[in-house]
Structure 1
Amino acid sequence: MTDGRPVPDRPDRVPRWARWTRWTLLSQPRAWLAAALVLVPMACTNHLADDLVEVTAARRLQVVTADTAQVLLDQANVSLPSRVDSEPGAGLRHISFDIPLDRYMAAPLPVEPGQRRPPGRALLFSQAIEGMDVYLNGVWVAGLPRTNQAARYRWNRPLVVPLARRLLRTDGPNTVVVELSSYEARTLLPPMYVGSVASANLAFEMTAFIGSSMANASNLLCLLAGLFLLGAGWVSRGEGRAFAFAGALTTVWAVMFSLVLTPYMPVAWQPVREWLQYACLGGVAILLTLFVFAFIGERMPTVARRALFAAAMSVPLIYPVANLSMRGWIAQYWLPLLMLFYVYATGRLALHAVRTRRRPAFLLLALNILTQVFALHDHNVVAQLFALPVPGQGWSLAHLLASPVLLSHLTLPLLLLVMGQSLLEQMRSHVERIRQSNEVLSSTLAQRERELQVSYQRQRDMENEAAAQSERDRIYRELHDGIGSKLVTTLFSVREREITPPQLEQRLLDALKDLRETISETQPRETRPIQDILFGYASGMDEALSGDQFHVEIDIADGHEVVLLGDEARSLLRIVEETVANTVKHAGATRLRLSMAVDGRNVLRLCIDDNGRLGPQQPLGPDGVPRGLMAALQPAAHILSGGQGLAGMRRRAQQMGARYRFVRTRHGAHTRVHLPLGPRAPHWPRFTDPEGGADASVAQAPPTETRDDSYRSQSVLAESSTS
């Protein structure tokens, strides 16, 4: 905060103009490079040839018609360079004039050290546009083919005429006679120079390089680059309007300059050539203006666009029927009229460059200004509106501005550089957007990977929990159906005092063995036939339970030995043990019968029957057994109650692919298990009711839905010898 008093200057405060200058000079190497490209050639070529003297006067200028030899113009003295005007429509004209050389050869030429004699002299014509013949003291010394009745020549190149010493007179006047021919009503007598042969050849090479060699190379470059830009504009239609206009512009420009620089053309084709030049010039004016508007992203106003098209296309339409005076007006004033539209587009470009501060916009603005300057120069070369004298002695690149040399072709490569800069900037923006999109995509992928990692961890935890729960369920079923059943029968035997201590010890050892197998990670696989397994269990059960009040019957049919693969033998044995335990705990039966057989359909049939009584007043528990019969073995029932009962046995049967059925009648309980051992029959055999009834009131499990109904791969029928 200040109180209104001026703040004293601080050492670290730098004026804005100084900061801008320092930023421009130090942080912009391109500015230094551009300045070097402009200033160094100008400094190096300021005086390329100091001993060249410009010819300023000629004598006896005559213009004569080729058909009638009529003298159209006869002038005693004429200054050079000069414009010769004659009557329009006179046809082919012959033009001749004399140049006195003695006044330009009076000053001696510098002699380099070691040079034996003074250097020779030469006469340099800056442009021999329509060809010429040059005579020194009446002897032809040089020339280019001249325009005649059959062909029109436009060379657009300089000409060097050596002045041979043997033709020069030491005691008399030396005169050069120049003869040329033209169909034009206005002919230019170009600037001429006299000097040493070396200096004349140097100026000749520089002029030919810029006006001819570079022009041809520029035309070829513009043609190829124009096709490339047209392709770029076609590919990127939305953003490529500027590239499309630039491609069309450079292509038409190359065609126009090719027509202008073509040295030979039959006279009969000349009207077509001129019409094509005007058509191309109108197309260049349209495309150049529309290109500028497309570059700045604006649309040219409708009125201005219609006026531009009308002005550009009017001359190609009226030129074939225009008279000579109209064609002369077109040659002088049509191009400046078209330049007005280009100046308008350049003004809009300047506003756009100031507003956006984009480097390509400023480069294109500078290029437009240079294009307008060169276009006006080339128009002045063709129309010869006014002369451009260059003061000073000698010859330099500045003299090219006064010579009738076309320079507009120098701006088109610069236009390609601007479009290349714009294309690179556009590509850089695309790359930046792609980089940003890749960063967003990478962060999104990282987030998705983290989410997937969390989801995977949760899924793994759930799977581990499900596996642990499944293992707990398995251990519970094994404890309940296997060890629990053994403990129930053992408790029953102890209660009835029908077991000896060695038998009790063996029973407990068997229970411990089953407990170790249950909690072991690797369950032992049963390889004994199911007949041996059931018979061994039934024998032990008979020994433990049979007595005065309980009797066990065993009926294991002989036949093929059956080996059940996997855990099916264990599951079938657990069903038998659980059924026997339920009978001992709840039924109050005095007889238990266990039978097994394999019928002709390869179906293992297991039957367990008892004669327990079921009163009509006894309700059923949640596992399908009478609640009143739980008092038969109250201590054991209290300890081992809470099992899954029928549901657990039914689930075991489903896992094996078997059918399970449990029926309670007044005469006892009946358990049936049917297990297919091979390809399943189309229809399962119906269960037979123990009392001869139908199969309607069964409590059975449907065929499993987790196995193939056509073949059980975990059961085999062992083809061993009959026991």
Structure 2
Amino acid sequence: MTRLALLAACCIVVALGLGSFVSAQDPAAPPGSLHLTQAQRLDQPSTGFSPAPYTIDPDPRSPDAPGGSWTDVSLPHASPYLRLKRAMRPSESLTPTTLTWYRLQTGQLAQISGPRYLYIPRWKAAGRIAVYADARLLYQSNSNLYSTPSNEPLWIPLDNYGDASPPTTVTIRIQHLRGLDSALSTVWVGTADALSWRYQWRSWLQNRLPLTSSAAFLAIGVFVLFVWRRHRSETLYLLFTLTSIAVYIRSLRYYVGPDWVPLDDAWFNWADVNARFVIIYLAHRILEQLHGRTRPWLQRTLIAFTAASSLLTLPFFLSMPHAGIVAPLIYPPLLVLALLVFGIGMGDARKRHSKRAMLVAGWGLLGVVFGVHDWMMQNNLVNIEHLLLGSFVNVGACLILMYLVFERYMVAIDDVAQANARLESRLHIREAELTASHQRLRDIEQREMLNEERRRMTQDMHDGLGASLISALGSVERGQLDSSDVAEILKDCVEDLKLSIDSLEPVEADLLLLLGTLRFRIGPRLDNMGIALRWEVKDVRPLDWLEPRMSLHILRILQEAFTNIIKHAHATEIRVVTAETADGVTLSIIDNGVGFALEPARLAGGRGLQNQLRRAEAIGGRVEWTPADRGTCFVLWLPTARG
């Protein structure tokens, strides 16, 4: 912040130095130029504002020359501010006016090779100006009566017209309101190489710099307004926008230019005068936002003065003096209010140790000093060729306020970044907790799955292999089985154990892979018994629910079907066929044996058929037995998806 204040101060010092150099009274004019500091002056009373005549006679002895008594004056020259005019708004045809003529001798221009130019650093009047070279009109302003470009230097070609000779006399005609002051700076004539740099520097310092800074300030103010609409609690953003608008209106005076402004004089001056009260009020509100201490009595005083000035200078009240005329009377209370606001603001800022508020208050006090200079310059109390310093105060104020809003904006961004960082940290912590919780659940699920698989295998071994071994053991103990029967029982037990092991192989929902495992186990046994196996299996849709427990049920159902064929059907051929239905898959086992009657077999209490029905129901399927041409057709239907 200290760097910003130093930068703004350095900019003003450099600008003042350049301005002083550009406007310096140089008795020894550089080669190719003449610096005119002496002139003859003539005042003529007139009524209304009349167009400048195209030609005049510069010879004072001619009857067509401006009549009256010419007096010698030194430039810069300013007439006194006489009195306030009441009860009249300016009128093009009825207002009392004064024609002020300045005649300058330029005979020495013949010694300077052309083309040649006329440069007037400043002229000031509530009216219009016209410039003549000898007898011919060269230039005429078309500005409004009160919004005259008192800050706009003039650059006029003198003899850029073919073989025109340099003029010996330059006459300046200023028509302005009677009773109000007028002023004319020194005049320069010469070549562009000798003078254009003076004109360009003054034009940049007094016109283009205020225009650029205030326009940029206004553009940023519009952007900040949209930011404020999203963050209504940030009052500083709104105050910044309002200040940018008020500063822009106040700065119009510096660069309205010599052309007509599309706004009535009265309203232009009303806005110009009262924008200063608005700026003081907004500066007070900004200081309150920065140092945090409110002064209700000062705020009410500012509102009262701003409202009174705005109402009393309204163009509707014809009985009141025009705002442009009463402006000198408005400056004293404006000065007092500015000293109160910035003086008290500086004190409050020091008590609250607010460097930002001290910077704004200090800059405001500097602006008060510059404002006094400008007021003295407008009232011809100092050299009118000085630079108007208020524009530079506006430039510095724009930089300071933009920095404050930018800083506040960056603080908000940092707050958001810190909030995001905290949220990200909490998210990482929560994610770690969820990961740990998920891992614990996976471990629990894995243990449950292992326990479930252990229980299943235990149950299968108890119901299958265990039951067969216990039954065989009892028969052997009772002497009911010979060695061949025992061998057959042991073979069945081994097959049952192999089947349990095969069910543990991952088949990834592929029924054909499961059937391939069954074929690998049952094929050699069929070959040894002389039974041909015809494998008519084709690809079918996957069964997503096919996991080890379900696979074992399917294998036991099919094993029981093959066992029944081997033991009871006396078949020589077995066909295995797969097919798809609308909602599932069918697996058919067809033999060419003697066949059997289903109901008598079920009534006989055979455990094999009952186990097949129970296991099919457990996996959501069903089994059917139907007679074939020769033998029996066993069908196992399996659903595509389990409900």
- Which position in structure 1 is the counterpart of 2:338? 342
- Which position in structure 1 is the counterpart of 2:476? 494
**Which of 440, 446, 460 is the matching residue for 1:464?**
446
Matched, 1:371 2:352: no
Residue identity opposite 2:450 in structure 1: A
> Quick one: distance in 2 between partners of 1:307 and 1:717?
107
- Which position in structure 2 is the counterpart of 1:94? 99
User: Per the alignment, do residues 60 and 509 of structure 1 end up closer, same or farther by CA in structure 2, a change over 3 Å counting?
Assistant: closer
Instruction: Give 1:160 deviation, angstroms.
Output: 5.5
> Quick one: distance in 2 between partners of 1:497 and 1:599?
33
Deviations 1:44-99 (A, max 9, x none): 7764574349766665553524379xxxx989565643333446557212223556
What percentage of residue pairs aligned between the two structures are identical?
18
In the alignment, is the contact (CA less than 8 A) between 1:226 and 1:247 conserved in 2? yes
Residue identity opposite 2:128 in structure 1: G
In the alignment, is the contact (CA less than 8 A) between 1:151 and 1:267 conserved in 2? no
Q: How does 1:409-448 map to 2 (within 5 A)?
A: 409-448=391-430
Deviations 1:470-496 (A, max 9, x none): 222122222322223223322322232
Matched, 1:310 2:304: yes
- Which position in structure 1 is the counterpart of 2:220? 225
- The TM-score normalised by the length of structure 2 is 0.64
Matched, 1:251 2:245: yes
Residue identity opposite 1:64 in structure 2: P
**Which of 599, 605, 608 is the matching residue for 1:608?**
605
**Which of 127, 142, 159 is the matching residue for 2:122?**
127
User: Per the alignment, do residues 455 and 538 of structure 1 end up closer, same or farther by CA in structure 2, a change over 3 Å counting?
Assistant: farther
> Quick one: distance in 2 between partners of 1:720 and 1:445?
67
3-state SS of 2:473 partner:
helix
> Quick one: distance in 1 between partners of 2:423 and 2:327?
62
3-state SS of 1:498 partner:
coil
> Quick one: distance in 2 between partners of 1:341 and 1:606?
116
3-state SS of 1:226 partner:
helix
User: Per the alignment, do residues 607 and 378 of structure 1 end up closer, same or farther by CA in structure 2, a change over 3 Å counting?
Assistant: farther
- Which position in structure 2 is the counterpart of 1:617? none
Structure 2 stretches of 5 or more lacking a match?
50-67, 86-94, 506-516, 519-554, 570-575, 579-583, 588-595, 632-643
Instruction: Give 1:182 deviation, angstroms.
Output: 0.6
Matched, 1:81 2:81: no
In the alignment, is the contact (CA less than 8 A) between 1:58 and 1:77 conserved in 2? yes
User: Per the alignment, do residues 44 and 82 of structure 1 end up closer, same or farther by CA in structure 2, a change over 3 Å counting?
Assistant: closer
Q: How does 1:232-271 map to 2 (within 5 A)?
A: 232-239=227-234, 241-258=235-252, 261=256, 263=258, 269-271=264-266
Q: How does 1:109-258 map to 2 (within 5 A)?
A: 124-129=119-124, 130-134=127-131, 139=135, 143-145=139-141, 154-156=148-150, 157-159=152-154, 178-183=172-177, 185-193=179-187, 197=191, 198-239=193-234, 241-258=235-252
Instruction: Give 1:259 deviation, angstroms.
Output: 6.5
> Quick one: distance in 2 between partners of 1:461 and 1:483?
31
Residue identity opposite 1:471 in structure 2: E
Q: How does 1:60-79 map to 2 (within 5 A)?
A: 61-66=42-47
User: Per the alignment, do residues 92 and 720 of structure 1 end up closer, same or farther by CA in structure 2, a change over 3 Å counting?
Assistant: farther
In the alignment, is the contact (CA less than 8 A) between 1:58 and 1:100 conserved in 2? yes
User: Per the alignment, do residues 161 and 653 of structure 1 end up closer, same or farther by CA in structure 2, a change over 3 Å counting?
Assistant: closer
- Which position in structure 2 is the counterpart of 1:275? 270
> Quick one: distance in 2 between partners of 1:653 and 1:205?
107
3-state SS of 2:80 partner:
strand
Instruction: Give 1:598 deviation, angstroms.
Output: 4.6
Deviations 1:351-405 (A, max 9, x none): 56556777755553454344334433443444x0x5225xxxxxxxxxxxx4375
3-state SS of 1:315 partner:
helix
Pick the structure with greater CA Rg.
1
Residue identity opposite 1:92 in structure 2: T
In the alignment, is the contact (CA less than 8 A) between 1:132 and 1:144 conserved in 2? yes
Instruction: Give 1:246 deviation, angstroms.
Output: 1.9
3-state SS of 2:605 partner:
strand
- Which position in structure 2 is the counterpart of 1:332? 328
In the alignment, is the contact (CA less than 8 A) between 1:215 and 1:409 conserved in 2? yes
In the alignment, is the contact (CA less than 8 A) between 2:269 and 2:323 conserved in 1? no
In the alignment, is the contact (CA less than 8 A) between 2:117 and 2:156 conserved in 1? yes
> Quick one: distance in 2 between partners of 1:160 and 1:237?
49
- Which position in structure 1 is the counterpart of 2:641? none
Deviations 1:7-37 (A, max 9, x none): xxxxxxxxxxxxxxxxx9xxx9878866764
User: Per the alignment, do residues 493 and 310 of structure 1 end up closer, same or farther by CA in structure 2, a change over 3 Å counting?
Assistant: same
3-state SS of 1:321 partner:
coil
Instruction: Give 1:311 deviation, angstroms.
Output: 0.7
3-state SS of 2:79 partner:
strand
In the alignment, is the contact (CA less than 8 A) between 2:116 and 2:158 conserved in 1? yes
Residue identity opposite 2:473 in structure 1: L
Deviations 1:613-632 (A, max 9, x none): xxxxxxxxxxxxxxxxxxxx
In the alignment, is the contact (CA less than 8 A) between 2:270 and 2:323 conserved in 1? no
In the alignment, is the contact (CA less than 8 A) between 1:211 and 1:405 conserved in 2? yes
3-state SS of 1:428 partner:
helix
State the aligned residue count.
517
User: Per the alignment, do residues 652 and 290 of structure 1 end up closer, same or farther by CA in structure 2, a change over 3 Å counting?
Assistant: farther
Residue identity opposite 1:94 in structure 2: L
Instruction: Give 1:208 deviation, angstroms.
Output: 2.5
Instruction: Give 1:468 deviation, angstroms.
Output: 1.9
**Which of 475, 489, 508 is the matching residue for 1:507?**
489
